[in-house]
Amino acid sequence: MSKANSTDPKYAKLSVGVACDSWGVWFPDDDKQLPPLTVLDQMAESGFVNIETGPYGFFPTDPDILRKETKARGLTVVAGTQGGPLHHREDWDSTIGDIRAVAGTVSPLGAKHLVYLPTPFIDYKTSEQIEPDTIADDAWKVYMEGLNKVGAILRDDYGMTLGVHPHGNTYIQTEEEITRMLADTDPSVVSLCLDTGHVVYSGGDPIRVIADHASRISFVHIKAMDQDVLAETNRNNWSFGEAVAHGVSVTPPKGQPDMVALIDALAGLDKELNVVVEQDLYPVDPAFPLPNAIATREYLAGCNLGSL
């Protein structure tokens, strides 16, 4: 079950799910990752129902095949995921094409959300610097125009909601950048996919983000970060990929934010929300994800998110 089994009705609008990065999946094709159908098998075996598809091309991209594979396992696709350099106008066409491809795969299965991942300025796999750490005002303006355009396409052509996902080593990661992004985009087509772990990673407070931007939150990634590893990350200037390799992303109740307080804050929004469990684990021992996903689901159910 995806809904809470608490008798308190305030939790009833939160639906739990899981994404494939909890299985160490960051890329469409990588020999350090588990096979796609194995990941689907284990998502189902771990007791989750709702899933987000992750990097486009990892799971089947033909909607009929994806429907067959998910239905056979009792899984429901609630969101797709895609990024792209919208701060470069010359890359809009290719990025929009990629986003349309994802929407065209998941919307026929009933998914209503597309999670947009900002393009990193440091490569997640190699830690190579790709672009400057800061973005110029004119490029920011182009970025926001691009988000508005994508959001309108998703709403008008696919009946989907765009959720912009703050992420480490990108131009949209801190609380200040989240606030700026929301202020500079059209609320009718651009919303926030709150990733609690990335807010903590960037020095913020996800509960404060919930309070400050309640009306713009359309989707949630629930994730925890280890404060000691995060402090070491900042001391050593590690990239996000290096931080993950050192274990910054941890299994609740370890790490921050406090999940009881966080889930209470989400329930206090009093609106239907998909809350997708994530743990950044690339690369990972193949034996780790399944029991870890079960333990995470059971712990969160005890916090009134989802069902035992």
Give the least confident one: 7-16, 35-44, 49-58, 204-213.
7-16
Whole-number Å distance between alpha carbons of 47 and 17? 10
Assess if residue 242 is contained within a domain. yes
Assess if residue 214 is contained within a domain. yes
Percent of the chain at pLDDT exceeding 90: 96
* Residue recorded with tokens 């996903």: 293
Q: Across residues 172-183, what is the average pLDDT?
A: 99
Banded model confidence at residue 307, pLDDT cuts 50, 70, 90: confident
Taking 90 as the threshold, does the pLDDT of residue 85 lie above it?
yes
According to DSSP, the residues that pair with 17 across neighbouring strands are 50, 276
- Structural domain count of the chain: 1
Assess if residue 233 is contained within a domain. yes
Written as one letter, the residue type at 119 is: T
Assess if residue 2 is contained within a domain. no
Beta strand pairing call for 190-195 and 249-250: unpaired
Assess if residue 28 is contained within a domain. yes
Whole-number Å distance between alpha carbons of 148 and 221? 22
Give the least confident one: 2-16, 146-160, 253-267.
2-16
| CATH code of residue 191 | 3.20.20.150
Q: Is 294 helix (H, G, I), strand (E, B) or coil?
A: helix
The residue length of the chain stands at 308
For residue 196, the 8-state DSSP code is H
Burial class (CB in 10 A: 0-12, 13-18, 19+), 205: middle
Taking 90 as the threshold, does the pLDDT of residue 298 lie above it?
yes
What is the pTM assigned to this prediction?
A: 0.97
- The pLDDT value given to residue 4: 56
Q: Across residues 216-233, what is the average pLDDT?
A: 99
Taking 60 as the threshold, does the pLDDT of residue 66 lie above it?
yes
* Residue recorded with tokens 């700026």: 180
Percent of the chain at pLDDT exceeding 70: 98
Q: Across residues 145-161, what is the average pLDDT?
A: 99
- The pLDDT value given to residue 59: 99
- The pLDDT value given to residue 305: 97
Assess if residue 3 is contained within a domain. no
Q: Across residues 77-81, what is the average pLDDT?
A: 99
Whole-number Å distance between alpha carbons of 221 and 20? 12
* Residue recorded with tokens 């080593």: 169
Whole-number Å distance between alpha carbons of 56 and 277? 18
- The pLDDT value given to residue 257: 99
Q: Which of 40, 184, 218, 15 is nearest to 114 (CA)?
A: 218
Banded model confidence at residue 308, pLDDT cuts 50, 70, 90: confident
Alpha helix locations (H) across the chain? 36-45, 63-72, 92-106, 137-153, 175-183, 196-201, 206-212, 227-236, 240-245, 259-267, 289-302
- The pLDDT value given to residue 3: 61
In the predicted model, what is the mean pLDDT of the chain?
Answer: 97
Taking 60 as the threshold, does the pLDDT of residue 211 lie above it?
yes
Which whole-number Å values give the CA distances from 196 to 182, 226, 262, in the listed order? 17, 12, 9
Assess if residue 307 is contained within a domain. no
Q: Across residues 160-180, what is the average pLDDT?
A: 99
Banded model confidence at residue 2, pLDDT cuts 50, 70, 90: low
pLDDT in tens, 235-279: 999 999 999 999 999 999 999 999 999 999 999 999 999 999 999
Q: Across residues 290-300, what is the average pLDDT?
A: 98
Q: Across residues 215-222, what is the average pLDDT?
A: 99
CB neighbours of 139 closer than 8 A, spacing ≥ 6?
87, 88
Task: Name the residue range of residue 163's domain.
Answer: 9-302
* Residue recorded with tokens 């996000």: 240
Assess if residue 150 is contained within a domain. yes
Banded model confidence at residue 8, pLDDT cuts 50, 70, 90: confident
- The pLDDT value given to residue 7: 66
